[in-house]
Structure 1
Amino acid sequence: MRTIRSMALAAMIVASGLTLPPAQAQQPGVKRTDLQRHDLSAPGREAVQVRVDLASGVAFGKHTHPGEEIIYVLEGTLEYQIEDKPPVTLKPGDVLFIPAGTVHSAKNVSSGTGSELATYIVEKGKPLLTLVK
C-alpha cells in the first residue's frame, strides 16, 4: 500500500510539472493569450491565434516559428527586426507577414502597452516558438 501511495504521489508531482500554467513560462512584460487552435484541411498543419501584449519598452528576443506568422497590430507602436533587414515599425491597423523559420524579434517602442494579434499557420505537434541565441 505504501508503494502505491508513493507512486501516486510521484505521478502527481510529475504531472503538475508538465502542466504549468502558460503565464509562469512567460517572460516579464510579455503576456501571451491563446485565443484559438484548429486543424486545417492541409494534413499536419494547424492555425493558432494568440494575442501578445508587450509592456512599454519590452522586447521579445530573436525567435522562429515552424510555419508562417501573420501579425495585426492592435495597440501601441511595435518595432520588428526580421533577420538582418532594417527594423519595421508598425502602428494599430498595420500588418506584417513573417515566412516560416525566419529569425525575428519584436519590441514595444510606445509609452503604453503594445498589442498584436498573431496568427500562425504551423506544423502540428512542433513547438510554436523556438528562441534563437
Structure 2
Amino acid sequence: MSNRYLQSLRVLSSAAVLVANLFTLPAAAAQAGVTRTDLQRHDLSTPGREAVQVRVDLAPGVAFGRHTHPGEEIIYVLAGAIEYDVEGKPPVTLKAGDVLFIPAGTVHAAKNVGQDAASELATYIVAKDKPLLTLAK
C-alpha cells in the first residue's frame, strides 16, 4: 500500500473515533444537574494514548451513575463535597483540594453530597480509539 493511502486511512480512522466519542460521550453524560466541560485534549508520546481534561459540575444531590473509562482517571475536587463509590473500595467523601486516582476500567460513581454545587477537574490518560466514558450495566 502507498504511504499516501495509509495516511488517508489513519486520518479517516481518527475522524471515525472522534465522531464516535462525540456521539457516545454526550449521550452518556447528558443528565440533569451534570455539566461536563471539555478543557483540553492532547496526544501523548505513547502511541495511541491521549490526555483529556474535563471539568465536571454536579448540582446539589445529583449523582453520576456507575461508569468506566478506557484508562486512568485522576480527580482533583475543586468545590463542594463529592462522594465517590469506587468498585472494591468503601465510599469516600472528598472536599475541595482532595484528590483521587481511579485505575483503568474500574467501575465507579460520584454524588454531590453537599448543599452547594460541586466541581471536579478530571484528567484522563486513555486509549484514543475508545469512547472516553462507558456506562456500567
Alignment TM-score, normalising by the size of structure 2: 0.79
Are 1:120 and 2:129 counterparts?
no
> What amino acid does structure 2 have at the position aligned with 1:44?
G
Q: Deviations over 1:14-38 (max 9, x none)?
A: xxxx877x49x61100000000000
Are 1:35 and 2:22 counterparts?
no
Give the one of 70, 74, 81 matched to 2:78.
74
> What amino acid does structure 2 have at the position aligned with 1:93?
G
**Match of 1:86?**
90
Question: Which runs of 4 or more aligned residues in structure 1 lie more than 2 Å from their structure 2 counterparts after TM superposition?
Answer: none
**Match of 2:53?**
49
The two structures, once aligned, show a CA RMSD in angstroms of: 2.0
Question: Which blocks of at least 5 consecutive residues in structure 1 are unaligned?
Answer: 1-17
**Match of 2:110?**
106
Within 1, Cα distance between the matches of 2:113 and 2:87?
19
Within 2, Cα distance between the matches of 1:109 and 1:35?
25
> What amino acid does structure 2 have at the position aligned with 1:102?
T
Are 1:95 and 2:115 counterparts?
no
> What amino acid does structure 1 have at the position aligned with 2:63?
A
Alignment TM-score, normalising by the size of structure 1: 0.82
Question: Which blocks of at least 5 consecutive residues in structure 2 are unaligned?
Answer: 1-19
- For residue 41 of structure 1, give the secondary structure of its aligned residue in structure 2: coil
Number of matched pairs: 116
Within 2, Cα distance between the matches of 1:49 and 1:78?
18
Sequence identity percentage? 78
> What amino acid does structure 2 have at the position aligned with 1:40?
L
